[in-house]
Structure 1
Amino acid sequence: MNAPALSVLDLVPVTAGQTSAQAVAASLDLATHADRLGYRRYWYAEHHNMPAVASTTPPVLVAAAASRTERIRVGSGGVMLPNHSPLVVAEQFAALEAIAPGRIDLGIGRAPGSDPVITQLLFRSGTTSDVDRFPDHITDILALTSPEGATVRFTSGSEYAVHATPSSTGSPEVWLLGSSDYSAQLAARFGLPYVFANHFSGDGLERALGLYRTQYRPSEQHPEPRTFLTANAVAAPTAEEAEERALPQLRMMARLRTNRPLVALETVEQAQADPWDGMTTSIIDSTRAKWFVGTGDQVAAELTAFAAKYGVDEIMISPVAGAYDGEPRDAAPGRIRTLELLAQPVPAA
């Protein structure tokens, strides 16, 4: 089996005792490593008001990552469109395409990426879009970010040209993201690339990919269906260290599943010292079974088999390695090591 190409999904994790500035610095350092190591793309997720997640504004982070990298594609995984005006999203990513021509991905999701209170605050800001018009907004963004732009037609019969940027020569590549049949079928209908959020749960993966592939309508830009998989991964020099570094994120997932108050990520030592109840243990065990954790060779082999099972040539890993006490807070040694151990040789120029 051929090893799949590898990419990175980053939520910019925040560990106890770490500032937002340190978390972002660690993320940008990781992006430069991914670029040097030959990873295909580097995406930032959008989440709001979470103590352990600093990826609130993908376009800002994408711009910073683009300025620090040379080769890797950078983008959103994704922009949660109900939180934003389609025109603003189009303008942001058209500007990013001008900053890093040919390297920008615009991954778009339909979920809010936040709790109901934050959703209402975003709605009150007046910059959100109607979730029920999600397909129309995707069409608008595709038109606005194209060199031809979009046309507004009035009932009087007059027309008005709209461009996300004055004189573009290229467009960001648009991907639809989701964890449901709806997103898979919409991507198929539009002839767009599609990514299922397997790293979050994995339930329904096989069905979503089947719907996408069987219902796909070829488009000019994408004559064939195109998809890859996301996966949580931790690789370390020893299997024992990998399991230890996975523990803080596993315990965070248990908190999410049991509606407990969210906190910054624990360090490995904090996670080991805190007692677990039976429910937490059960959730950790079931979640861990879907993750890829071990030595570099072990994880690489599992990812290759995973890609072959679902017929994809790319895996986007979320490197969920936690930090030990005493490790620098403006870098992420465990996440860097994961990328290094899984990296494939960079082809000669």
Structure 2
Amino acid sequence: MNDTPIAALEAELRELLGDRGVSVELAARQRASTDGAHLSPVIKEQLPLGLAELVAYPANAELIAATVASAVRHGIPITPRGKGTGNYGQAIPMAGGLVLDMSRARAITEVGDGFITAEAGASMSALEQAANAAGQQILMYPSTANSSVGGFLSGGSGGTGSIKHGSNSDGFVAALDVVHAVPNASLVHVAGEAAQPYVHTYGTAGIIARATVVTEPLQDWRGFFASFDTFEQAISVIREIGQLEPTPRLVSADLATLANALPPDPAIPTDRASLRAILDLSTVAAATALVEAAGGRVEDVREGAQASMRISMMSYNHPIEFLQKAYPDRYFHVEVSGDALVDRIDEVH
């Protein structure tokens, strides 16, 4: 910590952000240098991959820009960080330097007809709640629903809502206020197609400080839980359920081994394959008929945003995290897309 440029940057940032907005404490630097990369056995063997020398916590979009400008002037590497929930080391400061922790810049600044605007540190669940209060819903949110909007747009790709709306680069982003790594950095507003180069580029093209994403009219969702004797029965209907109209927000199915590792829930019975979905109320009867025709049974249908959020938090990478906790060093996540997930399941396993 005797590096003169770092010391000079620390002093400047304390003037800008206050003492609570800057930390050089080892524990804070270690927390800011860690994400979910331990889920990968390849990356886990290499950890730790970097340690921040300084952590800054700007409280709004304008201070994000000012912090970036200060770091660039002092020649200090910058690693932007949302909530640190990524699984692939995106938030690890491999070059040391400054970690720009944006979790305190979390204001939701506007909810309009068909859009919502928030600072980078606002959680996706907070955006969804604010949109719901206005009779709307965001097009999608990641399985880690408490991740930040800046982190999701920079390092995520899809999640709940992707069956209908695809990835977060498929028309989800209406506009961004970004910060470029230049000595006089300021907020740069980009909209429409001009915003797309900043999506899923991990902050390398520019750091997202504020985002406007698209919303749609709120639907009446239900959390749908079903179980089957075999996984083959579950996947025999998963595609049909996903093709119901209105389109489900999410459909997931897991082997009994994996379902047994999920958080205890009476709607996820032990030793049975589990299917979970977020369905429009109008499609629950059709989904029930499909499940029963395949030899399964409906365990529960739940109302309310929390039921949907619970199902989201047990989708995508999350079941693997639960599985790794239940069976350490035995399982890891493999990304497979397309119809192979259903048609070639034996090869996937």
Note whether the superposition's TM-score is higher than 0.5: no
Q: TM-score under structure 1 normalisation? A: 0.28
Larger proportion of helix: 1
Structure with higher RCO (Cα < 8 A, 6+ apart): 1
Larger proportion of strand: 2
Rg larger in 1 or in 2?
2
Q: TM-score under structure 2 normalisation? A: 0.28
